[in-house]
Amino acid sequence: MNIFIMGAPGSGKGTFSSRIKEEFNLNHISTGDIFRENISKGTPLGLKAKEYTESGRLVPDEVTNAMVADYLKNLPDQKNGYLLDGYPRTLDQAKAFEEMTNGTDQAVNLILSMDVPTEVLTKRITGRRTCKNCGEIFNIYYKAPAQEGICDHCGSPLSQRKDDNEESLKTRLDEYFKNTAPVIAHYEDLGMVTHINADQEMDAIWPLIKEAIQ
């Protein structure tokens, strides 16, 4: 099974991606995570991506497409397919991806759209805190850690993403509505999208996702 998980910033893609990849044994590819990792290591890719990601703009398509192509070529194949998180985010990325994978076993089968009203997103994003060590995601409003600033799972300090501030968020939302919403509409036309009401308790969302995949 090959899946795109799509949705606005703060829609829960990252949180549910970790559960999905475990449950269904998928390769998880998060373009945002890959950029952030390259930025913190100071690689050439990181240097190219830094100013875009931190201000909330999209990294140019050539850079992102090449990076995803590279990942797909080198996927370990003991898994049941992939879960692409954060890609494609523009119609040009979707076309490039289709040209590369159509007719192969890496073509996409299902698009999950995580639907959340825009007014809910801001609180989710500005309250988000993540553990760089184990990847656990917290929220100071909805899912606070037992001890402020410390990961419940592994005890490491929590941090806030550079782009999780109101100004970058505004840019990210603009990018989403201008560039990414049309990608969902494109797959909608192909009848490949399952919409998930992601504005509910986590425990209510998970069965919907499982059902869509099974």
Residue 89 contacts which entry, ligand ADP, Zn ion, none (Cβ below 5-8 A, type-dependent): ligand ADP
Written as one letter, the residue type at 58 is L
Residue 3 · residue 81 · CB < 8 Å: yes
Neighbours of 178 (CB within 10 A): 11
Task: Give me the residues paired with residue 115 across strands.
Answer: 197
**Closer by beta carbon to ligand ADP, 33 or else 147:** 33
134 lies in the binding site for Zn ion (CB under 5 A): yes
What mask, x for binding ligand ADP by CB under 6 A, covers residues 194 to 213?
--------------------
56 lies in the binding site for ligand ADP (CB under 6 A): yes
Residue 82 · residue 213 · CB < 8 Å: no
Task: Give me the residues paired with residue 128 across strands.
Answer: 139
35 lies in the binding site for ligand ADP (CB under 6 A): yes
Residue 151 contacts which entry, Zn ion, ligand ADP, none (Cβ below 5-8 A, type-dependent): Zn ion
Rounded Cα gap, residues 163 and 167, in angstroms: 8
Does the annotation count 13 as an active-site position?
Answer: yes
Residue 100 · residue 114 · CB < 8 Å: no
Does the annotation count 124 as an active-site position?
Answer: no
Interface of this chain with ligand ADP, residues 72 to 91, rule: CB under 6 A: 86-87, 89
Rg (CA), the chain: 17
The sign one gets for the Cα dihedral 90, 83, 131, 124 is: positive
Catalytic annotation, pick one of 21, 36, 48, 89: 89
Does the annotation count 128 as an active-site position?
Answer: yes
In angstroms, the first-to-last Cα distance of the chain is: 10
4 lies in the binding site for ligand ADP (CB under 6 A): no
How many residues touch Zn ion under the rule CB under 5 A: the total is 8
Q: Min. distance of Cβ 78 from ligand ADP in angstroms?
A: 26
131 lies in the binding site for Zn ion (CB under 5 A): yes
Binding footprint of Zn ion on the chain (CB under 5 A): 131, 133-134, 136, 151, 153-154, 156
Q: Which residues are catalytic?
A: 13, 89, 128, 161, 172
